[in-house]
């Protein structure tokens, strides 16, 4: 008999239409569903109605369950005759601590299947018409997290991140975005660098605010999950529209498949 198996599944950025077919099938087969706070309600509604559901979501200052407890829970739930789905917002291996969970399971002799999901950077940028790379403007893209552990300082490669030809995407950065902006400007990035502040991305409540880097700290988010896209690509659609003599393009015209 093979060892038990746990599926680490990416739920994507919120819209159920952005799930992979593999993820949707596993949700329908699940006996146990261990899910995060940022998983969209529409995604959860696709799950087997008889599945046991365990919410282990984390929010700033509030953890339903600590990470080590989640790791141990997955080990306890794993069984040869049980379909265990660990459902994580976005992609399990992009700031989702999926690697920690996979390693813990493997150390206990439990097999792991990882089902990738569309990470927030890709889904949110697409939904408002921002190409993360664009010839002549951005040769590379970098994903960073603004989350700090405890009282630790936010230590990032500021010199590398301040490259004007790199698109920077900041996850979990609301509490630190003022410091992030100051450090980037201090390392040479122009204060007028465009920024897109995308809250509740890929959901009916999605909201996008475009601003300059030196004003990003003043943009209210209302405590909603927020992603920051920093770089010249933020304005590329409007810029190209101006070059061909048409009106600037309203980002609300953009859709992610199934989401408007």
38-50 pLDDT, tens per residue?
A: 898 999 999 999 9
Return d(Cα 29, Cα 85) in angstroms, integer: 9
Is the pLDDT confidence value at 259 over 70? no
Is the pLDDT confidence value at 256 over 70? no
Is the pLDDT confidence value at 224 over 50? yes
Question: Can you tell me whether residue 130 is helix, strand or coil?
Answer: coil
Looking at the chain, the whole-number percentage of residues with pLDDT higher than 70 is 86
Each domain of the chain, given as residue ranges in start order, spans: 5-118, 121-253
**pLDDT (0 to 100) of residue 84:** 98
Please identify, in words, the CATH class of the domain defined by 5-118: alpha beta
pTM of the model: 0.87
Catalytic, out of 172, 200, 235, 238: 172
Question: Is the CATH number of domain 121-253 3.30.950.10?
Answer: yes
Quick check: is 151 catalytic? no
Contacts 24+ apart (CB under 8 A), 255-260: 255/127, 256/13, 256/15, 256/17, 256/18, 256/123, 256/126, 256/127, 256/202, 257/15, 257/17, 257/18, 258/15, 258/16, 258/17, 258/18, 259/15, 259/17, 259/18, 259/127, 259/202, 259/203, 259/204, 259/206
Is the pLDDT confidence value at 62 over 60? no
DSSP single-letter state for residue 248: P
**pLDDT (0 to 100) of residue 168:** 98
Band of the pLDDT at 155, cuts 50, 70, 90?
confident
**pLDDT (0 to 100) of residue 150:** 57
Return d(Cα 82, Cα 219) in angstroms, integer: 46
Exposure of 185 by Cβ count < 10 A (0-12 exposed, 13-18 middle, 19+ buried)?
Answer: middle
Quick check: is 65 catalytic? no
Catalytic, out of 36, 91, 163, 238: 36
Catalytic, out of 31, 58, 65, 214: 58
Band of the pLDDT at 244, cuts 50, 70, 90?
very low
Quick check: is 88 catalytic? no
């Amino acid at each position: 008999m093979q060892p038990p198996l746990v599926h680490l599944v990416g739920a994507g950025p919120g819209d159920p239409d952005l799930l992979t077919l593999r993820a949707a099938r596993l949700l329908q087969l699940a006996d146990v569903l261990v899910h995060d706070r940022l998983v969209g309600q529409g995604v959860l509604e696709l799950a087997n109605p008889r599945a046991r559901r365990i919410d282990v979501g984390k929010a700033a200052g509030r953890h339903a369950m600590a990470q080590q407890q989640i790791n141990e829970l997955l080990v306890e739930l794993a069984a040869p005759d049980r379909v265990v789905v660990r459902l994580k917002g976005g992609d399990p291996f992009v700031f989702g601590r999926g690697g920690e969970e996979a390693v813990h399971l493997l150390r206990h002799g439990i097999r792991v299947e990882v089902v990738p999901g569309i990470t927030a950077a890709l889904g949110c940028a697409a939904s408002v018409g921002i190409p993360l790379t664009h010839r002549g403007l951005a040769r590379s893209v970098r994903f960073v997290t603004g989350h700090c552990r405890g009282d630790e300082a936010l230590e990032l490669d500021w010199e590398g991140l301040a490259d004007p030809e790199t698109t920077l995407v900041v996850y979990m950065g609301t509490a630190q975005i003022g410091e992030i902006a100051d450090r980037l400007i201090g390392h040479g990035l122009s204060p007028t660098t465009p920024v897109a502040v995308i809250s509740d991305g890929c959901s009916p409540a999605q909201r996008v605010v475009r601003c300059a880097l030196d004003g990003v700290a003043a943009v209210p988010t209302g405590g909603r999950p927020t992603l920051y896209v920093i770089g010249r690509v933020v304005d590329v659609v409007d810029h190209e529209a101006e070059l061909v003599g048409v009106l600037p393009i309203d980002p609300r015209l953009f859709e992610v498949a199934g989401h408007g």
